[in-house]
Amino acid sequence: MSEAGPGGLPRKGVPYADVIAEMEAASAQDADWRAARTWSLVYHADRAVEAIVQAAYSRFMATNGLSPVAFPSLKRFESEVMAGVRTLLRAPDGAAGSMTSGGTESLLLAVKAARDWAAVHRRLHGEYEFLVPETAHPALYKAAHYLGVRPVPVPVGPDFRADADAARKLVTPRTILVVGSAPAFPHGVVDPIGPLAALAAEHGILCHVDASVGGMMLPFLERLGHTIPPWDFRVPGVTSISTDLHKYGYAAKGASAIVYGSRALRRFQFFVQPGWPGGMYASPTLAGTRPGGAIAAAWAAMRFLGEDGYLQLARTASEAASRLMAGIRSIPGLFVLGEPDMTLFAFAARDFDTYAVGDSMRRRGWRLDRQQLPPSLHLVVTANHAQVVDAFLEDLGQSAAEARGQAPGVAGAAYGMLGEAPAGTDAEDFLLDFLDQAL
C-alpha cells in the first residue's frame, strides 16, 4: 500500500507531536476569535470558561447520551441543564424538553412535533403549512424541506419585525404552527411574539419561539433593566421555545435545547421503533448517538458561571454593544438597521458601498459577516469583544472614509461565509457549487 496523499489515510500512524504540529499549522489562518477579531460563529466568554468547558468535554468525550442506563451521569447533566433552561424561559409546571446538537436540530424537532401533533389533534394529513417570518433562520426552511411542510413567509415591517397583521391573512385550515424569533439573527430585533402567539391560540394551533440566540441572554438583559418585548412562556399561546447553549450559554459546540409547554407535546418529537431485531429502539431527538461531551460541557458551563456569572457577562456584552452602536452612528454615512433588542445587530453605509467597508475592515484583520436585503455588515457582540471596541471603531472610521465614493454593488452576501456571490451569478447554483467544492 502506497503512502497516502495530503489529508488521506496514512499507511503508518503519524507521531503525536507531528499531528499536533500539523493542526497548529493548519489553524494559522483561522479566524482569531480569542483576540475578539471575529464577530460571528464563536461565542467566547473568557479563558476560565473555556478551560472548564474543555475539561468537561474531554472527560466525557467517549460517552453516549443515547443510553441513560449506561451513562446515568449524562442523564443527570441533561436533566439539570434542562431545569435551568426551563427556569430562564419561565416555563410552566409540567413543561419538558431535550438537549439537541444545535439550533437547526431544535427547529427541525419543533416543526416535526407540530406536524405529528396536527395529525392527531387536527386530523390533518398531507399538505401542512406553517408561518415563518422572512427574517427567521433558514433552518426553518430546511425543516420544511426535510419534513414535507410548506413554509409560508410572513413579511416584516420597516422595523424588521414580523408583521402580525399580515400573518393573520396568511392562516389557512392547513396551518399548524406560527413561528417568531427572539431575536431574529439578521437585525437583533424580537418579533411581536404576543400577537403571533395570540393568533396561533385563536386558531387552536401551536406557536414556537426561536430564541436560539436570545434564550441565554434576554433573561439577563431584562434583569439588568432592559425593556425587552414579551417573548417567553409568560406570553399566552407560546407552546415551545428553543435556545442554543453554545451561543450565549458559552457551552461547547453541539449544545442546544428545546422546551415544550407540556410533556404531552414533547412526545411528538420522539421516534420509536419497537420491532427492530437489535432491540426496541427509542430516540428522543434526531440524533441517535448523542455526544456526551457536549452535554457535560453545557452542564459544566452553567454550573461554573451560575446566574451571577451570566449576569456579568450579559452586562459586559450589552455595554460593549451599546458603545459599538453609538460609535457606528457617529461615523458619517453609517447607520444601524432598526432598533436592536439584543447584543447583535447590523449596520450599513447610506450612500456608498457597504461591502467595500467590509473589505477594508478585513484588510485590517476584522472578520464581519455580510448580509443582504439590504446589504449590511453584522456583529455578534460577546463579553470578549469589550476589549476591542475602541480599536474596532477607529478602524471602522478609516474604512468608511476609504469606501466613500464607491457606488453600492449588486452582489449577494452568503451567510456565515464572510463573502458574497459574484454579480450576475445564479445564487442557488453558486451556493451548491460552493458546498460541492468546500467539502
pLDDT, block means (10 residues), the chain with 439 residues: 61 92 90 86 92 95 85 94 98 96 96 95 84 97 96 97 98 96 97 98 97 98 97 98 97 96 96 91 89 95 97 98 98 97 97 94 94 94 96 97 76 51 58 55
pLDDT for the residue 64: 85
pLDDT for the residue 122: 82
Q: H helices within 10-71, ranges in order?
A: 16-26, 47-59
Contacts of residue 330, defined as CB under 8 A and 6 or more positions apart, other chains included, come to none
pLDDT for the residue 32: 84
Domain ranges of the chain: 56-302, 306-438
Burial 311-328 (b: 16+ CB within 10 A, else e): bebbbbbbbbbebbbebb
Query: CATH classification of 306-438, choosing from 3.90.1150.10, 3.90.245.10, 3.30.930.10, 3.30.460.10?
Result: 3.90.1150.10
Fold matches, 56-302 and 306-438: no
Query: What pTM does this model have?
Result: 0.90
The phi and psi torsions of 349 (rounded to 5 degrees) equal: -95, 140
Cell 435551568 identifies what position? 84
Query: How many residues in the chain?
Result: 439
Strands 281-283 vs 344-349: parallel, antiparallel or unpaired:
unpaired
Assigned fold of 56-302: Aspartate Aminotransferase; domain 2 (3.40.640)
pLDDT for the residue 1: 35
pLDDT for the residue 425: 56
Quick one: 257 exposed, middle or buried, by C-beta within 10 A (0-12, 13-18, 19+)?
buried
End-to-end CA distance of the chain: 26
